Every structure is written in structure tokens, then in C-alpha cells.
Chain A
Amino acid sequence: MTITFLLNGETVQVDAPPTRTLLDWLREDRGLTGTKEGCNEGDCGACTVIVTDDDGPKTLNACILFLPQLHGKAVRTVEGISGPGGKLHPVQQAMIDHHGSQCGFCTPGFVVSMACAHMKKRSDFDDQLAGNLCRCTGYAPIIRAAKAAASEPVPDWMIDTPLENVQNAHLPENTDELAAWYADHPDATLIAGATDVGLWVTKQLRDLAPVAFLHRCNDLQRIDIAKDHTHIGAGCTMTQVLEWASDHFPSYAELIRRYGSTQVRNAATIGGNIANGSPIGDNPPALIALDAKLHLRHGDMQRVINIEDFFIDYGKQDSAPGEFVEAVSIPHQPNHLKCYKLSKRFDQDISAVCGCFNISIENNHVTAARIAFGGMAGIPKRASHVEQTLIGQTWSKETIKTAQTVFSKDFQPLSDMRASAVYRLQTAENMLMRYYLESIGEKTSVLEVQP
């Protein structure tokens, strides 16, 4: 497969196996060793690069980015952050001035993340840099450096434009092509953002052939607002979903803000997060609570199901060979959604429990309730008994307390390294109380924590 892209301003053509990662290629083939490998699984940001496509520049982790995903795009590595003659970028100068570098191993990744945030005039440094780990500095000097550089102009060498009219690299260019090809090759592996699939290659050393990349199917990457619902293409990244959700379901947006890191959200797609069937994916509970529909496609055939019906059992989804997720649609509705994510580390960590609550109250009575959890069962699952206990009742603390007692009918969570069963059940119950208290505008601190 011949891939063409811009690397630090220079056009490169690469002939490589489809699951060659950008990081390996940079370091092994190009001798560009500024981009570091700290984990090879998307967790540390040492390998951060800037990738510019039609939507502009964004940071991605090169260790779980396959070369074909770059076709037609522009890549900038740490070596391309300083200008001609080695002129330092303002963030680089600030990192020196503020001692943002100790051992320096994380530094290239930080510099790239900071340069991208700088270019996009982002000042939410905590979020922009949450995906870059540093073990030496305690971060404070790095944040100081980012702030100090913020007012400096963007150096002109930083501006990249994606390539036009790149040659066809045998990547599906739209959903119809993808559907036809996948129907013919039902054993193939689909690759969207590769935030899961990347790890199968780098950690499990799996051989995936044949593969199909979804990223050039522009028609899969749109969010359309129709008359009675919002249609989100399966190829939309979590960054896109975050932007959309901020306007419609802020609590869902806040959940996604804590999903992975900027780099991961720029890659991961909503389709991949649903299709992988993970019991701890963050989107499914929110989507179930929002009564979303899943659009599945096989060749020319499309079907629509309730999203909760997609998850049959641990590792088992309602999809046929050659069938893929095309979109998810969310009915318009008043915003009653609250999402609570619990993880061992506040940011950049997979959920131990993710609870999403969508409860309608009229005349102080519960008229509808959709509650779903991740991390409480082998699949993302509705709390049907709890919902039934609530519906029709007055919206009161007593009702909540009664409902709290039926959680154990819906869930028998497991103890694992993320949380104990007791803790999971307890906090799931508490989350319902929090929803209630927040709805009546009371502080949650008057709650009892009683195991």
C-alpha cells in the first residue's frame, strides 16, 4: 500500500504494511528519534505528533496510529516544531525558561501538545496536556511554560495544509465502498480510530490482515441534526461528539471530557466505542439512557435497533459477519441526562463505574426513567428494576431510598482491579441519590455514606 503525506513540510511516499505504526516508522525508518516511545499503547503521550487534515491540526499518539491513516494528511513531529536554522518555537523557549524539562523524556510529547494547543489558542492546559505523562516535574513548571508562551504569535512554519488529490491508496472512500468490500470480506478487521485495534498490534503482536480503514469515508464522519433526532456517523471522533454534546447534553460532554486524553479523543470514534462491545466503554451507557438507535449496515441492507439490544452478552453483539455500525441516532428530548464516571484516577482513566441517568419528572412524579451503567455487568446494561421502581412514584428522597434497594436485582457486579463489587454497588446507588439531590438543587454533602 503506497501512502502519501506531508512530514514536517516535506512530501513523503511510503510503501509499508498497513499496520505499521507511525511511531515505528519515524524512529526505525526515518531516524527521527525525537518522538519517544513511553508505553506503546496510547497512555503516555511521549509519542505525540500533530496531524493536520481538512478539520485543521490535532494531536494524536503516533504509537497507535497506522500509516494508512495519514494518507493525504500533514504530520508534524517535534523535529518540525522548531523552525529553519533551529529557531525555537515559543513553547520550546518557555519550557527551557521555566524548567519544564527534567529527564526530558516526556518533553518532546509535551512540546508537540503545547505547540498544537498554542496554534489553536487553547488555554485549557489541564485538558490539553492531560494525555502527556511526566514522572519528574510534577507538571507545575510545564503549565507555567504553556501559559508563558500563550501570548506569543504562532510561527509561520507551523502552518500545514493537507495534500490535495492524493492517489487512491485502495482505502474505502465512502460508506458504500466500505459496505460492499466488507460484505465480500466478512473476516476482515475494520479500523476506525485504532485506539483499540492499535493495541492488538503493539501489545498482543497480532496479525490482522485483511484490514479496512474507515477514516477516508467522510460521509461516516458527519453529525446531522434532523427534525426529530441527531444523526451521528460511526466515524465521528470523540472530539466531535464532545463538541456536539456540549450544546445539548453538557453532562455527557463532561463525561467525554474525561474520556482518555485529547490525543485519544482525537482518534477514537463513537462507532468503535460501541462496536467493540466493551462493558466499560463510556458512550454506551449515555446513549442507552438517551434512548439512542443504532444503525447497522451489511452491503446494501440497513437495519435499526435499540442500542441496548446490540449488547447481548460479554463479548457478544447483535451483528452479523460483514455488518458494521453506520451511525447512532439520538431523539431530540429535553435534557435530563446526568452522567457520573468513577475511575481510580480522575482523568485519563477507564471507568470503574459509569452511570447515566435520564429521568423525567412531571408534577413531582417520575414519568419516565432510563438508567444505564457501564462497569456493573458484562455489558453496558439498563437498570430496569430501578427504573420500574421509580416510574409513577413521587420524586422524593423516600422513593430514591426504595429504589436504591433494588439495584442488586439489576446488578451483581464483579470485583476486579478497578473496583470492588461492594464499592461498585454502593456508588451506583449513591449516584441515584446524587441525581435526585442535584435535581432539587441541594448540596450532595448531606448524604450518608453507609455501606
Chain B
Amino acid sequence: MQGHRIEGADKVRGLAKYTDDLRFATPPLIALTATSPVARGRVQIDTSAALALPGTRCVIDHTNAPRLKRAILISMCEPGTRMPLQSDQVEYAGQPVAIVVADSLHAARDALAALIVTIENHDAPAVVLSDAENRLKSVRRAGIGPGAMKKGDADAALADASVSAEVNAHAAPHHQNPMEPGAVVARWDPDGGVTVHAAVQWHHLDASMIGQAFGLSWADGMTGLLGRAVLGTSGKSKVRLHNQLSGGAFGRNISYLALLLAPIAAKVAGGPVKLVQSRRDTFSLMSHRSEVKQRLRVGADTDGKLKAIVLEPDIARGNAAFVEPIGEMPMQLYAHDTHRLTTRVAKLDLPGAGWMRGPGVAHAIFALEQAMDDLARQVGKDPLDIRLANYSEKNPANGKSWEAKALLEAYEVGAAKFGWRDRPKGGSVRPDGRVSGFGMASAIDLGRQFPAHATVTMTKDGRVVVSLAVSEMGQGLLTGLTGVVAEMTGVSPDRVEFKREATKEGYAAGSIGSTGTYSNAAAVKTAVEKIIKKLAKAGGLPKSSKLQDGMLVAPNGESAAISDLLSRTGDLTAKGRAGLTFGASKQAKASFGAVFCEMAVDPITLDVEVIRLVGAYDCGRVLQPKIARAQLIGAMIMGMGQALMEETRLDRKRGHWTNAEIGEALVPTQADCPHVEAHFVGDTQGKPGALDFKGIAETAIVGVSPAIASAFADATGGVVHHLPLNHAARLAAVSRAQFSFKEAAE
């Protein structure tokens, strides 16, 4: 059915198979991971009791694990920095130190319980920024973002500014926590290659990681990867990575350790192995969003127009090259004269941090929007008006014009749908005795394009087959791409087939940074255009002809049946590529949005309830409005979780996460969810023939935490610069404000 999710019917029946659900002719052995309870030291493992159990097949630690080679990883995730099980050095709590392989899940659990893990000489770790002052180093680059930037003399401009605001924002680490804990199945093949089943977000990248680590052929190494990404070559790959449905990911399923642990286990066990992750395992075997402190100062004139932005983030990084790219976006949102960015990074004794929805930008915009609110208060402007006053037609960071920007419309539509201009005064008392607050914020996320190579075949029997190794994590990419192909070829969606599971399929842009859909769609589109040209040639029609309802139709109305043409030409295949410039272009590209929040605060407990969240987003062309809106709403609720509850805490002595479980690392439940609205603005139809997509899923997490913090401040006067706004932060903020509810009520 049009607009329905392709895998929907299987999912509601429980028939959709995730990696842990797969059944194989030779059932794999089961592997579980033992992790270090402390952050630093040397590990020794007594395996005798575990090995003595009847169901145990083997135990693998650094003494008998295969030696892995270094891998160059553009994802910057942990294996690019340190490969698992290569030495007795423990560098973070939760680090994998052994794998038990057994006949069944139960036998594996018994074996795990029987392992005796001893860590010697562990010295004190540093796992939070406040314990790592001496580890902070200035950086020129922070992950994919800049570490240092300068436009004019921002410090002088700040000193001269008539009005200024300072925000010291702090964000606790937290985890993506998609609902699937995840498993990886690995089997070594007779030709020395490896077959892996897993859910990954960036297929070829992670296939290459496995190839590099195990020293397989050049085709599986960096050269092979570049060949595939840039030239679209296939090469004889020995890593057969089968990408399975993913039970959510949100940045977590990129270059994770289990992709290496499972092949290690299979190699030593000498047979196929399924490595199963428990929920607790995912907290350290996979990435997290790291702790960030930001000192942000802004200067403005008496109208609140920005003169200077000075941003000094301190960012925690774990055992991976990845650094939360805080500096990337904040200079691109509002018009300003000068700016300076000076980033410091501290390597902490933690698992590798990594990608999570809205990397960098979600936190950066939180700080910036708090500063904007402060300016608004000082110059006596409405929060919306101060944003309008600082609206920038061009990208303020580099002067490029935007490909499209409907932020003004987003403000207008969002404010109208919310009733922003007629809202009651913050701090007024609701009929239920709670206190009202209202807040708003802007959202932005950069648009990027990555390489993709699609091979499209139109068959004589009327199917369209697309070879492109895209990842489906629930975002609806498959459904969206199917829609693009159906629209361009005039074939009904159920005749469009995607071959995406195996490494041999075309190189696809990863499902990362909301870039998957449009990068891949661009490649598909190029391929289909080539097919149309071939068909036109066969039918003697002009190249500008279009495919509609089984016909090739020329602009002058002349037409030919596609089936006739194909019966003459045979199946037609064409390759399409896109994104080879990685999105570099004359124009800047970003999604924009505006978010509005209504909140009720309980004056006794400072419990907050978000009553309404209304967002308006310019995400460019919208493929499947229902699916796209669902993405926006899901992201807004995740933003609410980030604002109010999501936080993974650390034990500063031993260095481990203290709430590594879903019952303690809270995420929103149905009962926490407010009335949510997401509206699309801008050119949602797109220009004819163009693929003017922008990102969707990341943009919508961006403005939510600042809008919620603003609403809390509006209700109570308590300005919270800590994420999440937990009870302690709320209480501290309200006490700082010396706010009395009594006064507010009177």
C-alpha cells in the first residue's frame, strides 16, 4: 500500500528477523563477553573453572586471541584506536577482556559466571571532565568538526558589546539505547574469508574494518573501500557482511566491537559463533554521547543583535578518535560579526564515545539558545523576536548562500500552531495548581552528501532491481528509496526490489547524519536517468522523455510501451553515482526548524511535565510525509528524553557506568509524552526532477532540549545549564533564582 512501510506487516507479526532471531543450517555456538569491572590495570583470567563446565567450548582472552592489525576507520570509532583482546592492558571499565564460547546461551552464561577475572595494580581513573583538568589539550579539529575557528576579533567585540551573556553549559554522557541489544554471527569460510551477519549503519565501511583487522586481501582494506566509495569498483571481497534489520541504532551501530569479537570467537572456536550482547554490554561494547562542558559568551548591541560569539568547549573523549563535533554548527545559525572557537579535548578512561543523533549540534545549540534567551531578557525582547533579529539570509560562518532556507517560515508556522504570541505569562498558575512555562528554540543541522553507487536494472518482466547496500534501522529508508524509484520509473512500488544485504551489492552512503536517504537517492536517480536515455534511444524518442504508468512519454506526447522497448533491448542495467564531492558545493545546505514547548512545573517536587511540543521544520523535499513525520516526532521525544532524564552516570573510583540498564538509564515512556506536533515548511515537493532532500531525523532532536530548559526558566526563573535537567539541577537553579512561587502566584 502506498506510503506504508515495506516491512510493516512482518514487524507486527513478530516475523521480522533481527540478527539474534536468525536460524542457520549449522546452529552457531553462543558467545558472551566478559568485561573489566574497573578502568585501569592489567588483566589476568583464570579460565579453568569455566573450561571445566561441560557446555564450554573455549575461552578467549588476550593470550589466545588472533592478533589483529590496525584499521584506518573514517568513522573514528574505537577499533580505529584500539583493537579488542590484544593485550592485558585495561583502559576502561566495561572493556572486553574475554569471550566465552559455549553450546547454548545457558552454558555460555554459566561459563561467564565461572570466569575469574583479576585486575592487578589498577590506579585511579579519570572518567569525568572535572577529574581530568590536566588532560585537556587544545585541538584544531574536533572529530568531523572544527576545533578552532576565528572570524574578526571576537574577544575585543565581546569586551565592547553593550550587552553580553555567559552560559556555562554541562551535558552528562548518555547512551543511544535503541531497543535492540544486538548480536553478531560470524563464520570463517573455506577460502579464508569471513561471513558476518549483523546490523550495521554503514555497510562497506564496517566490512572494510573487519577486512583490515584480520589482514584479508587488499579488496577488503582501505584501498578496496576507497575504490568502492570513489570509483564504485567491487573487487573480490572476502568479508561477506550481511546486513540485517536493525532494532534502532541512532548512531550506535557503527564500527562496534562485536563486529570483531564474533569473528575472533569463530576463529578460535573453529565454527560459526553468535556473539550475543546483553543490554548491559551495549553500554561499553558500543559507543555513547560523551560529556561536554561549554563556556559560551555572546556580545550584542542594545537591540540584541549579535556582535561576537566566543565558544570554548571542553569535550571528553574515550578510547576512540571520535570527538563530539561541538564547534561545527553554532556559528552557522545566527548572523554575527565575529567569533572565536577554542576547543579542548581530554582523553578519559572510558569506552570510545561515538555518534548519536544530532552529534555535536544538539549540545552546541542548547548552549547557544540559552545565551539567546539571556540576551532576550536583558534587552527586553520576546525570545522569538531576538531570533528574528539575528536571522541570517546567508551562512554566517562562510558567507555562502543557502541552497534553501525556510527558517522564517518555520518560526511563523511553529509560533502560529503553538499560539506563541498569545501565550499566558510564564509562572502563572494552572487550574491544577502547577506553574506554567513556555520556551522556544531554533534548530539547525548541516546537510551533507556522501558517495553512493547504485546499480539499477529494469527487467523485461517489469521489475526494477536496485543493488545498493543501504541500512534499514527503522528510519524508513527502504520505503523512501522504493518510492523514489517507483516515481521515476512509473513502476508500482511492489515491483521495486532492493538488494542490499550483502557486501557484494553497490556501495551505499551510510545511514548516518540523516544523509542516507538523499545521498543514496541521488545515486539511484542518476542510474534511472541513464536507463531512461537507453530506453529513449531504443524507442527513437527524445532523451527528455519520462516514464509513466508503463509508458515512455516524450514531451510532445508521443509514447512507447516500456515492455515493448525492453523486449527489444533485453534487461537494461545502469550505474549511478553521487556524492563524490562529499557535498562540497557553492551553496550551503542545512535543515532548519523552530520548536515551541509548554510545560507545567509542580511547585512541591519541581516535577516537570512537558504539556506540548510543537515543531516546524524545513527538511527540504519530503518523500513519504507519514514516515518523515514519524521520524520527526520520534526525534523530538528523544530530545525531550535528553532534556529531562537521559544520563549515564559514572563511578569516579572504579570508572564504570553505574546505571547501565534500561530501568535506570531512563528513556521516555508513553506516559511522559506530551502532545507533539511536527509541521513541514519550505519546499516539501522539491523542484521537478531535482533531489532537494535535506536531513530529517537529526534536525528534530536539536532544538528540543533548549526549548524545554527555556520553558522551565520561564515557569520558575530557574535557569538550568545542565543536561539533563534532573531534580538536583532544577532545585539548584530555582534556589539560585531565589524564586518564590508565592510571589509568582500573587
A residues sitting closer than 8 Å to B (CB atoms) are 24, 27-28, 31, 33-44, 46, 77-79, 81-82, 86, 88, 92-93, 95-97, 99-108, 111, 125-127, 129-143, 203, 205, 340, 342, 344-350, 352, 417, 419-420, 422-423, 426-427, 430-431, 433-434, 443-451
Q: Is the CB of B663 within 8 A of A103?
A: no
Q: Is the CB of A44 within 8 A of B671?
A: no
Chain A residues whose CB sits within 8 angstroms of the CB of B9 once the complex forms: 88, 96
A133 in contact with B179 given A138-B676, A344-B666 (CB within 8 Å): yes
Give 10 closest A-B pairs by Cβ, nearest first: A34-B14, A103-B474, A105-B247, A104-B11, A138-B637, A78-B14, A43-B663, A347-B671, A33-B21, A102-B474
Q: Nearest CB to that of B250 among chain A residues?
A: A135
Q: How far is the CA of A348 from the CA of B658 in the complex (A)?
A: 19
State the Cβ distance, B212 to closest chain A Cβ, in Å.
29
Q: How far is the CA of A286 from the CA of B25 in the complex (A)?
A: 56
Q: Is the CB of A137 within 8 A of B634?
A: yes
Chain B residues whose CB sits within 8 angstroms of the CB of A132 once the complex forms: 670
Check B359 for interface membership: any CB of A closer than 8 A.
no
Check B383 for interface membership: any CB of A closer than 8 A.
no
State the Cβ distance, B634 to closest chain A Cβ, in Å.
5
A346 in contact with B609 given A447-B742, A449-B603 (CB within 8 Å): yes
B371-404 contact mask (Cβ, 8 Å, vs A): 1 or 0: 0000000000000000000000000000000000
Q: How far is the CA of A38 from the CA of B179 in the complex (A)?
A: 6
Chain B residues whose CB sits within 8 angstroms of the CB of A102 once the complex forms: 5, 248, 474-476, 630-631, 634
Chain B residues whose CB sits within 8 angstroms of the CB of A77 once the complex forms: 14
Q: How far is the CA of A97 from the CA of B476 in the complex (A)?
A: 14
State the Cβ distance, B217 to closest chain A Cβ, in Å.
34
Q: Nearest CB to that of B476 among chain A residues?
A: A102
Q: How far is the CA of A203 from the CA of B660 in the complex (A)?
A: 12
A108, A138, A140, A142 pick with most chain B CB within 10 angstroms: A138
Q: How far is the CA of A133 from the CA of B665 in the complex (A)?
A: 13
Chain B residues whose CB sits within 8 angstroms of the CB of A350 once the complex forms: 663
Chain A residues whose CB sits within 8 angstroms of the CB of B112 once the complex forms: 205
Q: Is the CB of B13 within 8 A of A39?
A: no
Q: Is the CB of A103 within 8 A of B12?
A: no
Q: Is the CB of A451 within 8 A of B731?
A: yes
Q: Which size bracket describes the interface of B in this complex?
A: 35 or more
State the Cβ distance, A111 to closest chain B Cβ, in Å.
6
Which of B101-109, B539-547, B548-556 touches A?
Answer: B101-109
Check B589 for interface membership: any CB of A closer than 8 A.
no
> In the complex, which residues 622-643 of chain B have their Cβ closer than 8 Å to any Cβ of chain A?
626-627, 630-631, 633-638
Chain A residues whose CB sits within 8 angstroms of the CB of B658 once the complex forms: 417
Q: How far is the CA of A33 from the CA of B727 in the complex (A)?
A: 40
Q: How far is the CA of A43 from the CA of B742 in the complex (A)?
A: 39
Chain B residues whose CB sits within 8 angstroms of the CB of A81 once the complex forms: 13-14
Q: Is the CB of A344 within 8 A of B14?
A: no
Chain A residues whose CB sits within 8 angstroms of the CB of B731 once the complex forms: 420, 422-423, 426, 451
Q: Is the CB of A99 within 8 A of B630?
A: yes
Chain A residues whose CB sits within 8 angstroms of the CB of B11 once the complex forms: 95, 101, 104, 107
Q: Nearest CB to that of A108 among chain B residues?
A: B14
Check B710 for interface membership: any CB of A closer than 8 A.
no
Check B162 for interface membership: any CB of A closer than 8 A.
no
| Selected contact of B179 from candidates A88, A92, A135, CB within 8 Å | A135
> In the complex, which residues 52-85 of chain B have their Cβ closer than 8 Å to any Cβ of chain A?
none
| Selected contact of B13 from candidates A92, A125, A431, A449, CB within 8 Å | A92
User: What are some 22 contacts across the A-B interface (CB < 8 A)?
Assistant: A27-B20, A41-B662, A78-B13, A81-B13, A82-B13, A88-B12, A93-B12, A95-B8, A103-B178, A103-B246, A104-B7, A104-B16, A105-B18, A107-B12, A111-B12, A130-B671, A135-B634, A138-B630, A140-B633, A419-B727, A447-B603, A448-B741
| Selected contact of A445 from candidates B10, B633, B727, B741, CB within 8 Å | B741
Which of B259-267, B427-435, B590-598 touches A?
Answer: B427-435
Q: Is the CB of A101 within 8 A of B18?
A: no
Q: How far is the CA of A142 from the CA of B676 in the complex (A)?
A: 13
Chain B residues whose CB sits within 8 angstroms of the CB of A348 once the complex forms: 669, 671
| Selected contact of A136 from candidates B10, B16, B248, B602, CB within 8 Å | B248
Which of B220-228, B313-321, B574-582, B732-740 touches A?
Answer: B732-740
Q: Nearest CB to that of B658 among chain A residues?
A: A417
Check B269 for interface membership: any CB of A closer than 8 A.
no
State the Cβ distance, B603 to closest chain A Cβ, in Å.
5
Chain B residues whose CB sits within 8 angstroms of the CB of A103 once the complex forms: 178-180, 245-249, 473-474
Q: How far is the CA of A349 from the CA of B112 in the complex (A)?
A: 30
A44 in contact with B429 given A99-B627, A103-B179, A347-B669 (CB within 8 Å): no
State the Cβ distance, B453 to closest chain A Cβ, in Å.
26
Q: How far is the CA of A108 from the CA of B17 in the complex (A)?
A: 12
Q: Is the CB of A427 within 8 A of B4?
A: no
Check B533 for interface membership: any CB of A closer than 8 A.
no
Q: How far is the CA of A443 from the CA of B428 in the complex (A)?
A: 13
State the Cβ distance, B625 to closest chain A Cβ, in Å.
11
| Selected contact of B633 from candidates A46, A137, A417, A444, CB within 8 Å | A137
Q: How far is the CA of A420 from the CA of B722 in the complex (A)?
A: 15
State the Cβ distance, A25 to closest chain B Cβ, in Å.
10
Q: How far is the CA of A135 from the CA of B633 in the complex (A)?
A: 11
Q: Nearest CB to that of A89 among chain B residues?
A: B12
Q: Is the CB of B649 within 8 A of A445?
A: no
